[in-house]
Structure 1
Amino acid sequence: MRNVIMVLQIIIAIALIAVVMVQPSKTNGLSGLVAGGSSAESFYSKNKGRTSEAMLIKVTSVLAAIFAGLCIAQNLVK
């Protein structure tokens, strides 16, 4: 049972790393400093909850919760 949980944990960890690496950066870096970082209302900012970025955030949250649950399960199984 412990081996199964460990294999699942490794698979979830790799998937979590991949999903985090695919997400775009939240900062503008130096371009936001030079351009003033204007946050004008656009179609993208109004519909941000329905984009692929929002889906990646949800997947990251689910994978992190599963990973935490597997960590707890691994410590409980002896």
Structure 2
Amino acid sequence: MKNLLLGVSLAANVALAYLVVADRDQLKALQSRADSAMDQVAGKAQQIKGTLTGDVSDKLKGNLREGRGEVKSVIDDVKSEFN
């Protein structure tokens, strides 16, 4: 009986460890998507600031930052296709 309980306990711990690792991967993917969305929003805000102030440099930097966010988003989509 003792060996049966130890076996069940071991199996439960292995299953729990698998769930924790799977959740960690999902959390990384969610964090990556949030990061790309933040780059897109910050880039758009910088573009608007550049437009309102007439600062071409801010507008270009905003375009680049928004583009970087879009590229990250496409990379995340490709990663999710393979997982």
Calculate the TM-score normalised by the size of structure 1. Answer: 0.53
In the aligned structure 2, how far is the partner of 1:76 from the partner of 1:2?
14
Larger radius of gyration: 2
Structure 1 segments (4+ residues) deviating >6 Å: none
Contact 1:9 1:67 in 2 (8 A): yes
Residue 21 of structure 1 and its aligned partner are, at CA, apart by 2.8
Equivalent residue, structure 2, for 1:64: 70
2:45 to 12, 21, 32: 21
State the secondary structure of the residue aligned to 2:48: coil
Structure 1 unaligned segments of length 5 or more: list them. Answer: 28-43
Would the alpha carbon gap of residues 53 and 60 (structure 1) be closer, same or farther in structure 2, given more than 3 Å must change? same
Structure 2 unaligned segments of length 5 or more: list them. Answer: 1-24
Contact 2:37 2:73 in 1 (8 A): yes
Equivalent residue, structure 1, for 2:29: 5
What percent of counterpart residues are identical? Answer: 7
Calculate the TM-score normalised by the size of structure 2. Answer: 0.51
Per-residue CA deviation, residues 2-24 of structure 1 (Å, 9 max, x unaligned), is: 33122111122123123213322
Contact 1:19 1:56 in 2 (8 A): yes
**Number of residue pairs matched?**
55
Larger relative contact order (Cα-Cα within 8 Å, sequence gap ≥ 6): 1
